[in-house]
Structure 1
Amino acid sequence: MATTVGWLLDQRALDLRSCTGSLGLDRPIDCALTSELVDAADWLSGGELLLTTGMRLPDDRDGRTRYLASLAEAGVAAIGFGTGLGYDTVPDDLVEIGADLGLPVLEVPLPVPFSAIARTLLDRVADDRYAQFTRAARSQPAMTRAVIAGGVPALAGELAAALDHTVVVIDRDGRVVCSRPRAADPVAMTHVRRALGPDHWRSRAASATGVTITDDHTITVQRISSGGAVVGHLAVIGDRPLGDLQRVLVGHASSLITLQHNGAGDVAAERAQLHADVLGFAIRGDTLPATAETMLLRAADDDGLVRVVVFEFRSSTVAADAVGQLASALEQRWRPVFCARDGREVVVLLRGDDDTTTAQSLAAGLRMRAGLGDPVALCDIAASTGQARQAARAAVDGEVVDLVTTRSVLAIDGVQDGLRGLHDIRLRPLLEVRAAGGADLVTTLRRYLEANGHWESAAAAIGVHRHTLRQRVSRIEGLLGVDLADARTRAELLLILLSGDRPPAGRESR
């Protein structure tokens, strides 16, 4: 509903004519002013329709050029030249100069009062203002419903539609949480990060809202704070500045995002339990109702894909404590929390475009090993979980493994099946010792093999003296009837261990 030069010319009651043809018909007009001053530009701010009868128009072409050039530089939308008083027609040289400057020149015939043009524009601005208020009144509850139903990505989508701009939510580490309705222009994002600076993510010293204007973009960035700390930013990218009501919507969205980030304690706890139950259904491969799929879709990337990361901890107690940190790390990154614990294992749902770096950052400071499954559709979460478990078994302490990315033979289904079939048969004597409460010779063997037979490294990893390790290795060789000095035997046993060893919950195995 823009008020432009073209729109004004379409108002037949005004009987206006463009002397410069189709030049500048799309230029916006925000008001009409009357002035006969030659230096009128000094009192203008841009966007005006300047109405004049040419009473003090310079007589020479150079003077008229300076006059129109000053108006063009001030950002005047167009000139409305009244005829029938001082001039019977709009001077030809004035039209030529206006065309050269890109400034539309309109003829206002004598019967049309300047006040009629001003009232027409005022009515139009009032109608536009009312339409904006109506849209804002509809958008605010729609945004509230969106954040409840679909979280921050849904809210960003609703705000983008209301503003007709691109909306980007950025977490406290500078990573893009979501971009709606499409990925932000890389050049615009460069300006966003440059405007914020390296320390802006952690400091509240800078202004809560900033505007950057480039040749192609107008970028508004709203800081999102919680508990005295900066937790993210909301960036709005478009080809024009935001109006007053649009800025109100941005502020409303920022408040909703803050509330979503904080969450009431009881509500957040109940939501986390609900999410854990829904993820549990998906991990088991159960058929999910539509409402559950909608919930899980919040964790997906823009292609609707998710992937599973399985974290293994040394005991179920440690795993239970780790769930809180993993959940907090997800929340800090504006991610929905889908965590499910089973004994010493914690399953977390990530976006399909996440990688080992993301998984590693979630578990920063935790002693664990982890594996990533393939990016999959919601219906294949169970398959991704199985792959993640396999990858976790191939990991060492502190490592996150993606078998497909690393091109490991353990990612081949046939290899996995064959090795799992050998696990309980080949390692039965060691498993029986562990089941009877004896030494965990399975973990001892794995540590020894992962250390490539280096006694000092393996003993340190297990936490025993190297002489104790030598005794255990000798016992293992006797129970299995093997010679661990043989490279082929070591390789075979390590592959079998990686394929299926999952010590019982509560035992110190790592």
Structure 2
Amino acid sequence: MLLREALDRPRLRLTLLVGADELERPVSRVYVTDLPDPRRYLSGGELVLTGLMWRREPADSEAFVAACAAAEVAAIGAGDAAFGSVPEDLVEACRRHHMPLFEVPVEISFREVIDEVTPSLWARRFTGLATVLGRHRGLVAAIAAGARLADLLQPVAADLGVDCWVLAPTGRLVAATAALPAGAPADLATAFLAAGRLPARVTVDGRRLEMVGVPGRPAHRLASWLLAYAARDRTHASAGTRDRTAPPSGARDRTAPPALPDAAAELTSLIAMERAQVDEAARIERRLADQLGAALAGRGGPADVRGRLLACGLAPDATFLAVATSLTGLSTPSELAVAVCDEIVRPAGEPAAVTGDAIPDAVLAVLAVAPERAAAVLDTIRTSVAVLSCGLGTGRLAVGVSAPVTGAEALTGAVAEARHALRTALARPDRATVVCAGELASHLLLLAGVPADTRRAFRDRLLSPLIEYDRAHHADLLQTLDAFLASAGSWSRCAALLHVHVNTLRYRIGRIEQLTGRDLSRFEDRVDFFLALRLPSNGDLPFGR
């Protein structure tokens, strides 16, 4: 029912005071209140009837109308019983907020207004329900015949009078009825993951959108799609494009319900059917990917890896990236980690196989990429992880990416590089981290594959005598050793760097050699000291510090 129809009731003798150009607003229900701020009880589209008991002074009108405008009610109906007529301050407040206002004569009770309007509202709803059921049957039949969400979303949204967007939790666009501004998909995904509760509202390019989740498998927000939708109106010809004929600031075109709960239910049902098909296809694909993971884990030869790549739709002679992902601190970690890893690499748009059967306590994705696309794919992975970090809560997400390699024979080495990069990412304190093997110096990459207790023992064996001596004698032997190596063994450069005489430096180096049993004229001993100096006392690698 539109506001025009609700007011056009001769028996009620309602008089419109403000909002002659807002009569196409839809009405959802009639609500009676004398609260000064009724927002918590409003969902949008109401005819708010009030006896003005909340008004003590003119300023109260501004507060009441502002609250109703924020809740997006259809109109305010003011009774004459309290003041004999509608106060002028209420009229002015409604005019400022572009809020329709009508007068209810003193001889007409609010009960009469409810009894007159409500039956028409229910009749419209029953008619709408029959339409919804018929449309739902048609959608089920269409999907069974092979139609997909991209084919069905546009006509269904048009019938419902909405624009809508379906996105993955990384901001990847699944389907849409209109374009979004640049950056808006990632912003929507971030808002979706960070929302305390759903449904939620978010503003994009000045347009307020409703957001709901469409769960998948597993049932976690990090693995869900999001539906964002808004009523189609004259303010936006398409998403992100402002119509030059838009009403003045503060005004809204209200030709469709603001909350649209029925539209959300219908759209969610349609999207859930698509999501079920996608999840089933992914389950089958992961069976093949797990066979590839087993081959890469050493449970098969080179020929087996090539065959498994082909089964996954990946050319054995392609250029590959290996992506290792660890997700900890959340429920259903293994199943969720596979879904998250899949979503991290999917926005890149490259053929991929995702398996949890290749690396202990991690998930592996193998991507076939064009060599010139490798850097862009890495950037996309970083962007995806940054968005997903908003939904981690107490969890941690670490990702290691190999350098590009060519051919199935090199893929095992790429997986090892991705594992080393993953260990580096896990050593960093950030909640979500991406490390590429190309970022690591060669010696750090080697050390990443060494257990932490072994690294700690190596450091202590070489440096503990110097640390203890410095503690007892304040001799700065550790600093001297670091400066000597940084100076490539040059006595004069090192002495100048430390601001000491060369003879003092020679004495300190001799003491270092005596305490450690090493010879700093030997290249091998210099390398050992160089590595030991770059390991903290706990054996962790200093990546990212």
| Structure-2-length-normalised TM-score | 0.42
| Structure-1-length-normalised TM-score | 0.45
